Amino acid sequence: MRRLLVLLLIVLAPLSPAWSAGPSQTMEPGQVLRGRFVQERHLSGFGAPLRTEGRFVLVPGRGLIWQAETPFAVTTVITAAGLVQTAGGTETMRLPSARLPFLSRLYDMLGGVLGGDWRAMESDFATTRSGDDGNWRMELVPRRAPDQVSMPFRSIVAKGGRFLDEVVLAKADSEDFDRLSFLDQSLSRDSLTGAEASLLDSSR
Amino acid sequence: MSRLFALAWLAVVLLAGAHLVWRAAEGLHFQTDLTALLPREERDPALQRANDVVTNGLAKHVVLLFGADDREKARAAAADIAGRLAAEGLVSVATGGLDKNRLQSLGRLYFPYRRGLLSEDDRRRLLDGRAGDIANRALSQIYGFVGMADARLLRQDPFLLMPAFFSSLPIPMSRLAVDDGMMSLQQDGMTWVMVAGQLNGGPYALDVQRRLAALLDEGSLRAARPGVELLRLGAVFYARAGAEQAMSETSEIGLLSTLGTILLVLLVFRALSALWLSLLVIGTGVMTALSASLWLFGELHVGALLFGVSLIGVAVDYSLQYCTEIFGAPASPALRLRRVRAGVTLGAATTVIGYLTLFFAPFPGLHQIAIFSAVGLVAAWATVILWLPLLDRSAVPRHGRRLLAFGAGLASLWEDRRYRRPRRAAAILLGVAALAGVPRFHVDDDVRHMQALSPDLRVQQEHILRLIGDTAGSRFFVIEAADEEGALEREEALADALRPLVADGALRNFQALARYVPSAARQRDNRRLLRRLLEEPLLEGHLRQLQLELPPMPTADQDEAGPALTPSQVLSGDGPLASLAMLDMGRVNGVVTHVVTLEGVADVERVARAAGGLEDVRFVDPTESFTLLLGKYRYRALLLTGLSAVLMVPLVMGRHGVGGLRLLVPPLLAVILTPALRALGGAAFTFFDAMALVLVLSVGVDYAVFCAESRGERRQVTLLAVALAACTALMSFGMLALSGVAAVHAFGSTMSLGILLAFILAPMAWADEPGGPADGHWARLAERGTWLGMRLILLLYRIAGRRGCVFLLWLIVPYFYLTDGRRRRHSLDFLGRVRAFRGEKPPGWRDGLIHFMSFAEKALDTVIAWSAPQRTGAIRMVGAEAIRQVAAEGRGGLLIVSHLGNADMCRAHQAKLFGRPLNVLLHTRHAVHYNRILRAIHPDVEARTIQVTEIGPETAIDLKERVERGEWIAIAGDRIPVLSRTRISRVSFLGHPAAFSQGPFILGALMDCPVHLMFCLREGAGFSMYFETFAERRLEIQRKSREQILGDMCQSYAHILERYCLKAPSQWYNFFDFWA
């Protein structure tokens, strides 16, 4: 859960106009970011990484739709109300944000970052930025010792140019890591499709 | 001698004082648990223990929520307080939720047993054939946005069943989450951080309360940490609030009632001596009581202290009785004491009996009250009796005359004919008000209404429960089984019954050990389900999807025999779920006992029914059973009132004979009227009201005793003292009525109203005229069937009918038979003479009892005869022709009746018999009683009962005139005159010489009229009246052989009487030494 939220932060944070060495493309209200993703989950002892491909839709102020398509179709919708996961038409998980104080803290951080205020973020992570607008790299290291419950990462590394292109999340306590690659990203002012809108609504 | 006793008492008091000082130096222990005043559960030990464990666990639970709009502020405040609580050793702070360490140790502990641990939902999915859902969930967790998957976990648990099991555990307070080591939650822009734990020490220990209160003091907290809000939840806070209230009330009530008493005494006596004597009595009473209670109980309940303080109002009564005597006839202190000693002693004895009956109630708190009060009263009594006369230096007060006039005025309210109408109006008003209260009478045993819970704390509690969700409520299930496994299996059956209730909201959640540790049978079944329904069909494909190798799997046989996780592994002292230890109570009486606690019970009935049909599973609702128990004890308290009334009977009768029973009338009336009047005001009748009635009875009987002990002039003094006593009692109990604690308020209100009534009614106990203790003469024996007794019988007859009355008599008469040795001896003596005369064996105790019963029935029949003559049953006349003849001629005559059989029957049926009035000559003052009862039934008979102690010439002339008018005169032939023992003849009666009065025969001769005898005997369901002609025309007595002739007449009367005696010996109602 924490991982997901940090990820959310990473995905959204670079869109902030105040992001000096980050994605050069910023989002404006009413814009929708669509794209494809490849998630490689490197687990020690597994012959090959578990690879998931799918599409995502990011709507500022409303939430994120994360649809894995292969090898297994599962849809995750994250909004301010929490997280809902469905697979094969049945709900497999529902986590209301009220149960996770960390979630609202992350929203706070996010709000800060989007507003150009880094203090909330910096209180939890040490950030190192390098490169330029066209090709940047950022490393986040938790200030507190990582643990399974509240901060399950050793480090987070994000790379990109106009958009965020790749995130590597190194897990605490093991050699496992997740690599997320983002492809075919496009900003549009299109309204949401009916299906997308109902997904975002259903998670409330 | 009295000095010796006084010195001995001084030694006792000094000892008590020294003990008290020593204890005070050590520090006094006060108990504040209000529930300690309440009864213990009266059921089997398992239930009792379960109740104790759950209740104690709940009682020691402390929850603090620190809220602020800034996360750091709330966290800092919480960390600060948690640290100080731990440093002071006040609270063992628990992290509550599953933090990293606990989660890891839980994981390590459970992991080897994972094949047997299925979440309830997963088990249902497998049983419903939805194994695919489980596989899909695992895949969505692995491939979805949220990566639960950990490589090591996935290889061992490819379906991720273990995380599902953990997240299904009903871990308490799951609304909170661990945020950086602290249990927190966010709501409406506020961050709430929880500090929770178990109190180290009882929640009712004043020391613990004080330290906790100091640490959490709202004022200093607000000053130190502005913007931080603190919410508290825990019995300790309520206990603290209750204790504070009780303490401040105790001191206030004690102070006010003492001040009031002092003021009153000063006002009335206008001298310091009476005040200091009264204070001495109160002081020794309270000090001795405190010392004795501490010695017996080790600690004192604040409630006991509160009730005990009201003792001041009673203890001062005795000194007031004594002190008021100074207004009476001048006398030395010793003499003044002698005048009140009997009353004070009897009063103290009855009151102590009342308080001691509290000891029969199984409430520890009430035991303390009983001991405290009884010891205090005895000490006050001893001080009055032993010390006051020696210490008293009072001068005769100058205002005594005015005060006496006031007393006389007061007394006239009850006595003076002028006030008859207001008195009657007041009585009617009281009766009407009481009757109006009857339909409004209702009981309330709900324990929640008795305790005054601080409203502020309740608001905080509700807020906390809204935030963190329900914590364990007071209701629970108790599960019993021969072993741990059996208990777990029963819990699983119960859980199956409860789950539908959780689904539709009748119950929010429940904690059962079996949810954390399934039974061995369930674990084995889970392994089978896992193998057969999940792994066999789906495992291979699932692993292929994940590109995983098949891990080493246990064989089916290994699964069958696999080890099971046991509760002891989880619950052990440092186990991850040690907080659940409360659910397993171990063995109680050799039976393994578990508890299932419930959270958020919305539908009590359905939850209670869930246990129906399950063996050895019981639903326990402590509040409900407390309520039931209070109801039971409310009822018992009433029985206790009855019991103490019965216990008082020998005391008052020992001194006043049967007439002493009237002493119980005012207090009993007060006991009956008080609840009715309280009901009129809308108050419910509670256990505490019932308990107060016990004391109303004992204090009320005091007043009645004081009144009964005083005669003539002294009444004014006594009434003054009783009025003073009532005022002081009202002052102390009236204060209790102001208490904010509902129970104390109820007690105080009932006490003050009851005492007021008892005071108003007390003069009913005034004796009608002077008369010393009974001696051998029959006229001075308080005849059974005095006014009071008759009234009671009449009342009972109207309610219960003859049969009901006879039944009641069977309950009452054996008591009199047992306690009244004198009459029992006379009865057996008489029956023995009858038996000897007949040549039979002596009577047994049963014959005496039947004799007593027969007398009681006679009294009953008399009342029936007067009030409803048509109901007396058939009356057979034998030999009535002669009488009818005389009556038909318009003449009158003399009718000699006796105390054999029921002569009153002929009075009741006189019209049928004689057609003319029947005048009854009574020798005694009993005529007064007799007239009263008759007047009550037949207002016109008053003039027909003539009281004569000695027949003088005027009486003879008056009687003669009556006879000439055709009236009849009835006189008893078997009693001798009160004042004279000269006009008697000793003649043979039942083989022994007995004294018979010559009076009836002299009278017969004087009046020159026919003389007849009448015996009315009860035979079967009716009566037979036997008439004998003694002299057809007139009795002639020659002057020469007058003594001889009168002796012969007595002898022939005695023979006839003897004949009828042998016919119905048990109807002989002369309970005195007839042959004396």
Which of B809, B825, B858 delimits the end of a domain?
A: B858
Judge whether A55 is closer than 8 Å to chain B, CB to CB: no
* CB atoms B546 and A50 under 8 Å: yes
Has residue B151 been placed in a domain?
Answer: no
Residues from chain A that touch B175, judged by Cβ atoms under 8 A, are 98-99
- Say whether both B879 and B956 belong to one domain: yes
Q: CA of B336: how far to CAs of B316, B594, B1072, in Å?
A: 17, 68, 36
Which of B578, B594, B619 delimits the end of a domain?
A: B619
DSSP label at B944? G
Residues 68-87 of chain A with CB under 8 A from chain B are 68, 71-72, 74, 76, 78, 83, 85-87
pLDDT value for A203: 63
Has residue B198 been placed in a domain?
Answer: no
Cβ(B976)–Cβ(B996) under 8 Å?
A: yes
Has residue B166 been placed in a domain?
Answer: no
Has residue B267 been placed in a domain?
Answer: yes
pLDDT value for B519: 93
- Say whether both B851 and B883 belong to one domain: no
* CB atoms A105 and B152 under 8 Å: no
> Which of A48, A99, A150 lies closest to B180 in CB terms?
A150
B524 CA: distance to closest CA in chain A (Å): 27
User: Which residues of chain B fall short of a pLDDT of 50?
Assistant: 769-786, 942
Has residue B130 been placed in a domain?
Answer: no
Has residue B81 been placed in a domain?
Answer: no
Sequence length of chain B is: 1076
pLDDT value for B781: 36
Has residue B457 been placed in a domain?
Answer: no
DSSP B66-92: EEESSHHHHHHHHHHHHHHHHHHTSEE
pLDDT value for A84: 83
Domain span at residue A132 reads 2-202
Which of B721, B740, B772 delimits the end of a domain?
A: B772
Domain span at residue B600 reads 469-512+569-619
Task: Please give the tally of structural domains in chain B.
Answer: 4
ipTM of the complex: 0.81
- Say whether both B728 and B762 belong to one domain: yes
Contacts for A12-17: CB closer than 8 Å, 24+ residues apart: A12/A58, A12/A60, A12/A110, A12/A113, A12/A114, A13/A110, A13/A113, A13/A114, A13/A121, A14/A158, A14/A160, A14/A163, A14/A164, A15/A60, A15/A114, A16/A113, A16/A114, A16/A115, A16/A116, A17/A116
- Say whether both B809 and B931 belong to one domain: no
Residue of A nearest to B149 (CA): A43
3-state SS assignment for residue B62: strand
What is the CATH classification number for the domain harbouring A41? Answer: 2.50.20.10
Task: Please give the tally of structural domains in chain A.
Answer: 1
Residues 110-169 of chain A with CB under 8 A from chain B are 144, 147-150
Residues from chain A that touch B146, judged by Cβ atoms under 8 A, are 1, 3-4, 76, 83, 85, 93
Tens digits of per-residue pLDDT, A101-114? 555 555 556 555 54
- Say whether both B294 and B249 belong to one domain: yes
pLDDT value for B148: 55
- Say whether both B715 and B677 belong to one domain: yes
* CB atoms B71 and A144 under 8 Å: no
Question: Residue with structure tokens 């005012």?
Answer: B666
- Say whether both B608 and B633 belong to one domain: no
- Say whether both B874 and B994 belong to one domain: yes
Has residue B191 been placed in a domain?
Answer: no
Cβ(A103)–Cβ(A9) under 8 Å?
A: no
pLDDT value for A148: 45
Question: With helix as H, strand as E and coil as C, how does chain A read?
Answer: CHHHHHHHHHHHHHHCCCCCCCCCCCCCCCCEEEEEEEEEEECCCCCCCEEEEEEEEEECCCEEEEEEEECCCEEEEEECCEEEEEECCEEEEEEEHHHCHHHHHHHHHHHHHHCCCCHHHHHHEEEEEEEECCEEEEEEEECCCCECCCECEEEEEEEECCCEEEEEEEECCCCCEEEEEEEEEEEECCCCCHHHHHHHHHCC
